[in-house]
Amino acid sequence: MSELRPYDLDEYYELRSSRIKPVTLEGEMRTLRTFLTYLDEQLDAVEDGLADAARVPDLDRNERASDASFRAEKAMALLEAYRESPQYRARRGHTFLEIAWHTGARQGSIRGLDVRDVDFKKECVEFRHRPDTDTPLKNKSSGERPVALPTEAMDVVREYVDEERRDVRDDYDRKPLLPSAVGRPTNNTLRNWSYMATEPCLLLDCPHDKEREECDWTEYVHASKCPSSRSPHRIRTGSITWQLNLGFPPEVVSERVNATVDVIENHYDWASREERWRRRHERMENRREYIDQLEVSNNE
């Protein structure tokens, strides 16, 4: 690593930019810059300031609102299909998607949920920081919060807990809400569940002109290769954009998803230009009651 130079980073950028989408490149380069910062500041393993040489593409909002996002219309169609399916309703994949979409929570937060963290009376799930038993929250105790879910989503969670959930405990004798066959899933396992749960061909038509029975992408180890499958992070991004488009104030979304308004606006909000314009009009109309106070006659 000590031999790495700015020229190498620039060459890497040019190579990757010719092979992947801009939004994917942005994520890769941000990750690389973070890693180089760690190597510089914590390990002194690279030349000073090398992280600054890692170019990060400056994308506009429309470029971020790309096929990589999990758009609300796709999420709604998939959730509706799950809810109406006698075979897949309230199974683990469906339950994961209901929770991930309606909370916009991070992957690690969902992994850390226990059965006891579901409050059916208040129709919410509670995210708790439990570092001593392997389920910390990213923002530690400040990330603890209850997040309400709509009644239909809670009905699915209830059915899952009552009828479908494996009676399994983890290494700390806790009852994971979404367990694997042997305990609490790893982050990689949960990510694979996400890919599997968001493959449209399980319940809807394949948008890629493939037959499910003959498609390699339907296999557990290849689900991430399906162009329509989504990781928990993409679901989180889509959920945050959706909540904002519904008219939720940024401060409310911030509390629900445990991210600052600034981070939400710069990294998670992938709304199109048209969606942002509509939001501004709606906010203007919501402030209409204050406009009368601007009349000159009212200020004499």
Delimit the domains of the chain by residue range.
6-59, 68-300
Domain spanning 68-300: CATH superfamily: Intergrase catalytic core (1.10.443.10)
pLDDT at 298: 61
pLDDT at 64: 56
Confidence of residue 23 (pLDDT cuts 50, 70, 90): confident
Euclidean distance between CA atoms 211 and 208, whole angstroms: 9
Euclidean distance between CA atoms 266 and 81, whole angstroms: 32
- Structure tokens that stand for 18 in this block: 């010719």
Burial class (CB in 10 A: 0-12, 13-18, 19+), 160: buried
For 65-108, what is each residue's pLDDT tens digit? 555 678 999 999 999 999 999 999 999 999 999 999 999 999 99
pTM over 0.95: no
DSSP string, 65-111: SSTTS--HHHHHHHHHHHHH-TTTTTSHHHHHHHHHHHH---HHHHH
- Specify the amino acid at residue 114: D
Of 18-32, 79-93, 120-134, the one with minimum mean pLDDT is 18-32
Count helices and strands in the chain by DSSP H and E runs:
13, 3
pLDDT at 19: 82
- Contact between 98 and 235 under an 8 Å Cβ cutoff? The reply is no
- Structure tokens that stand for 211 in this block: 């037959």
Q: Which DSSP letter does residue 181 get? A: S
Distance spanning both ends of the chain, measured CA to CA: 71
Euclidean distance between CA atoms 148 and 161, whole angstroms: 17
- Contact between 190 and 232 under an 8 Å Cβ cutoff? The reply is yes
For 147-205, what is each residue's pLDDT tens digit? 999 999 999 999 999 999 999 999 999 999 999 999 999 999 999 999 999 999 999 99
- Contact between 115 and 169 under an 8 Å Cβ cutoff? The reply is no
